[in-house]
Each structure stands twice: as C-alpha cells, then as structure tokens.
Amino acid sequence: MRQAAHSSFGQFVRMMTCNQCGGKGKIPEKVCKDCGGSGHSRIKRKISVHIPAGIDNGMRLRMEGYGEAGDYGASNGDLYIEVYVQSHERFIRTDDNLETTIEISPAQAVLGTSAEIETIDKRHIDLRVPAGIQFNTALKIPGEGIKRRGKHGDLLVRIKIITPKSVSNEQKELYQKIAEFEGKSSTNGGFFSGIMGGKKKSKK
C-alpha cells in the first residue's frame, strides 16, 4: 500500500503492507473457516523415512519440504528428525565396532576351544579361542561390525572365564590332581605357597 504526503519540503511517499491482503494483492471473497484466508492449514500425515546404514545417536535426518508452510510465495520449510539408537541385548557399540561376550570354562581357557558366534545380522561364525587365553581378553573378528559409508567395523569378542560353583566328585579329584601337580594343594600351604615360598618361620 502506498501513501503520499505533502509538506513544505516536498512530497513524501510511504510504502506499507496492506492490512487486508497482507501483501498478496488479493482479498478472498469468502474467508475459509479452516485456514482463515491464509491459504494454509495444519494436517497430520504419516511419511516413510529411510534410515541409512550405520546411523548413530544424535544424528539428524532432513526431510525437505515437510516443515512449516512458508510465507506467501515462499516454499515450505524442512523437517529434521533426530535419531536415537536403542541398546542391543548382546552387543555394545563403540563408533563402528561392536563388542560381545562369551563364557568359557577354566579347562577351555587352558586347552583352547572354538565357539560359535552369532553376528548382528544373524550369521554364525566359528571363533578359535587359543590355548592359555586370559580373562577379559578381546578377540577380533574383522569386518563384522557396523557398516557405514561402504566400510565395516570389527566385532570384538570379550572372553570371560567362569569358575564353576559346584563340581562332581570326579571333577573335584581331577582339580586336586592338577593342584598337586602345580605344587599348590592345600597340604603344602595353599595357592600362595608357590609364590611366597610357604609360611615364614618365626624368629626365636
């Protein structure tokens, strides 16, 4: 809308937005009850969103044109979706690597063994556990982690050595024979006797 005013200094022209059409240049003959004459109305709808492989916590997806309606003559805004990845019951994620845990017995730790590992995509891989493996050692299976941008992370298999709470009489005899062979049975001072050299003699 244009307004002109005259003064002793000349003519002044002031431009302002029309309060009836809002700068559109058109006035509706009948105001719509849904949009109030704005030409926009709020609706709810479901859309399909593609989640790319390897997405991580805090990453955002942009849906172009699914945001708020723009001003007159302008395009719609964008919709941003922030992603939160749920924790897994068997795997822990660190960047693009995954970690899981398997339990073995003391005998398996000493002699070595093999274990079947189920990957995150439900495939099964035979893992060789070397003899003499130590508690909490992580064995790596390359390329079985998270896939992102055409590359795969690794799968780390953490070894937990579980001591049995109860054993049969036959098993107990075998453990006693092993302890005697190592020179650490209860008859010669217990486990620490081989390290400390037995109990120190008292001074007279």
pLDDT digit string, tens, across residues 59-89? 999 999 888 877 766 788 899 999 999 999 9
SS3 116: strand
Q: Is the pTM of this model over 0.85?
A: no
> Nearest Cα to 46, choosing from 66, 76, 22?
66
Which tokens hold the place of 33? 């009850």
pLDDT digits (tens, 9 = 90+) for 167-196: 899 999 998 898 888 885 444 544 444 434
For residue 72, give every residue at least 6 positions away whose Cβ sits within 8 Å of its Cβ, in sequence order, or none. Answer: 22, 23, 24, 39
Amino acid identity, residue 176?
Q
Domains assigned to the chain: 92-161 (2.60.260.20), 168-199 (no CATH)
pLDDT at 28: 67
Please state, as a whole number, how many other Cβ atoms lie within 10 Å of the Cβ of residue 180: 13
Pair 103, 113: CB distance under 8 Å: no
